[in-house]
Structure 1
Amino acid sequence: MAYEEAKKRFRGSISPVITPFNEDESIDFNKFKELINWHIEKGSHGISVTGTSGEPSSMSVDERMTVMETACKTVNGRVPFIPGTGSTNHDETMRMTKAAQEMGADGALVIVPYYNKPNQHALYKHFKTVADSVDIPIILYNIPGRTAVNLEADTIARLAEDCENIIGVKEANKDFEHVNKVLLKAGRDFNLYSGIEVLCYPMLAIGGAGHISATANVAPTEVADLYNKWEVGDVKGAQDLHYSLMPLNDVLFRDTNPAPAKAALGMMGKIKPVLRKPLDVPSEAVQAEIRETLKAYKLL
């Protein structure tokens, strides 16, 4: 029953909050807490950290867990808190997912291991072992553009069947046929989240539970309202927001995420636009485009 309740609670715009750094690349925890409070005040339905937008592969495991703990305390139960706990290393994934449960997180977002390119049976064993080790809801995270392997719909369905606490999947997958098959095979009560900005609205239309969109880092209210309008049956309003957000979505992916989002947040005065190596700030041309887009959206 608890997992069925989680499926109902974990809906809407779950903001994948960036990790702000100081000039020396240390974590700026004060700005981090300010960002989380800002997201909640602006209407985000949930908070996630240490996912792709949070640069987790540039942090140590201990740093990631400190970021998670800080976020958990800052959220303080106001909205669901679902940190990213996945890694290319199975033991690290187990450690961070167990830590998420111990610190009081509402769930965990677990990415397909990157670089290793496991086959489907290996992916099943990895995720089942992780899910069986905790009692909190698990959202799978399928992002083949980053991991070089796709978590197939049949594998997702098998995991959903065998692991009661695997309640959904974030699909950062441009293959719209695939995401339709996920709900067909895993069941339409399985929580499907868009991780592709231009597919946030289409995924709601096929029965999705919401989105975990990097654009929420810059425009949390609008990204949350896309879900809100759909939820109350304002189809025209949701469609209008979908098209209105497209230029902003585009410019925020002119370079590798989260570099453009951090540049935008720097221009907005929210953070210092520092990324950890090997990432770096976008080119001057891209930054100029970001600035003009933010002006057009009245974000500057």
Structure 2
Amino acid sequence: MYQQAKQKIRGSIAPIVTPFKKDGSLDLETLASLIDWNIKSGSHGISVTGTTGEPSSLTIEERVQVMEAAMKAVNGRVPFVPGTGSTNHEETLYLTKKAQELGVDAAMVIVPYYNKPSQHALYKHFKAVADSVDIPIIIYNIPGRTATNLEVKTLAKLSKDCPNIIGVKESNKDFEHVNRVLLECGRDFLLFSGIELLCYPMLAIGGAGYISATANIIPKQVAELYDAWTAGDLKRAQEIHYELMPLNDVLFKDTNPSPLKAALGMIGRAQPVLRLPMDVPTQVLQDEIRDVLKQYVDLSAQQSVQ
């Protein structure tokens, strides 16, 4: 079962935003539309309620609603990997079990944020989560948001002791660290980049793909990078890597998904609404985002959403 998942869950896994209506309520209809557009544009998988999906702005009940709506929208067309992690251990167990009930392809479980657990505590947390279900688990390491780095030796021990821990999303700018993940966990361990500028380099060292927020805006081009790589067209893959850089840069000039949601409004795909304490970017940054978007999208042909 887990070996099959390792073969299946690869490529550009699009981390879809959680759309809100103007009044701040969930917009599940737009969520389904975004998922459908991504799949039809070539994305190889779908994820929700990861960092890009603003899980800390959602209630537990809303996170379940988003998973259910996304599962229905995906409808088995590509792998579905929702984020089920939380800073709270019991919440993580609950959400991961809910994901299993839904029949997801894997659950992505973030390193707990704010409480800064030790490596020993992280091992106990992830092992308990993995032992509570029999679905594949992809750990999500994002030290810039959690203030804690899951060390390679801890991840390697988890991968050996828990057969359903099949991979990791590394939003880690330490490229030496991510190289050592495959050395210590094995070359068949799924390594996904969560850093946009490392998507292409991660493939070069044996990574399984990437989970890039930029796929929300130009899913076809983001997926094409992986397709070119797997087809052996390294020159084209490198070209796409550099073509994507201006958009990748501007989408992270403020905390994700603030610029991303502003951009989605500009291309008419979703309301640019976030829940406080998150908010849309300053007007100066919105103007910069619009200027960069013109390199990728014909904004004159789009109906912007305000």
- Common fold, TM-score beyond 0.5? yes
Match of 1:238 in 2: 237
CA deviations on 1:156-193 (whole Å, 9 max, x unpaired) are 11010000000000000000000001111001110000
Match of 1:293 in 2: 292
Report deviation, 1:72. Answer: 0.5
Aligned partner of 2:256: which letter? N
CA distance in 2, matches of 1:108, 1:4: 15
CA distance in 2, matches of 1:245, 1:80: 24
Aligned partner of 2:2: which letter? Y
CA distance in 2, matches of 1:64, 1:298: 31
Match of 2:117 in 1: 118
Match of 1:99 in 2: 98
CA distance in 2, matches of 1:269, 1:195: 25
CA deviations on 1:113-169 (whole Å, 9 max, x unpaired) are 000100101000000000011011000000000000100000111010000000000
Report deviation, 1:298. Answer: 2.5
Q: Verify: 1:78 aligned to 2:45, yes or no.
A: no
CA RMSD of aligned residues (A): 0.6
Aligned partner of 1:27: which letter? L
CA distance in 2, matches of 1:158, 1:10: 22
CA distance in 2, matches of 1:282, 1:298: 20
Match of 2:147 in 1: 148
The correspondence of residues 33-72 of structure 1 with structure 2, limited to 5 A, is 33-72=32-71
The correspondence of residues 1-300 of structure 1 with structure 2, limited to 5 A, is 2-300=1-299
Question: What is the percent sequence identity of the aligned residues?
Answer: 68
CA distance in 2, matches of 1:276, 1:43: 30
For structure 2, the residue ranges without an aligned partner over 5 or more in a row are: 300-306
Please, what TM-score do these two structures have when normalized by structure 2? 0.97
CA distance in 2, matches of 1:96, 1:42: 29
Aligned partner of 1:64: which letter? R
Report deviation, 1:299. Answer: 4.6
Report deviation, 1:297. Answer: 1.3
Could you list the structure 1 runs, at least 4 aligned residues long, displaced by more than 3 angstroms after superposition. none
The alignment partner of 1:154 has SS state of helix
CA deviations on 1:85-140 (whole Å, 9 max, x unpaired) are 00000000000000000011111000000001001010000000000110110000
The alignment covers a number of residue pairs equal to: 299
Aligned partner of 2:200: which letter? Y
The alignment partner of 1:169 has SS state of strand
For structure 1, the residue ranges without an aligned partner over 5 or more in a row are: none
CA distance in 2, matches of 1:7, 1:267: 36
Please, what TM-score do these two structures have when normalized by structure 1? 0.99
CA distance in 1, matches of 2:257, 2:235: 30
CA distance in 2, matches of 1:126, 1:293: 41
The alignment partner of 2:52 has SS state of helix
The alignment partner of 1:109 has SS state of strand
The alignment partner of 2:294 has SS state of helix
Report deviation, 1:67. Answer: 0.5
CA deviations on 1:267-294 (whole Å, 9 max, x unpaired) are 0001110001100000111100110111
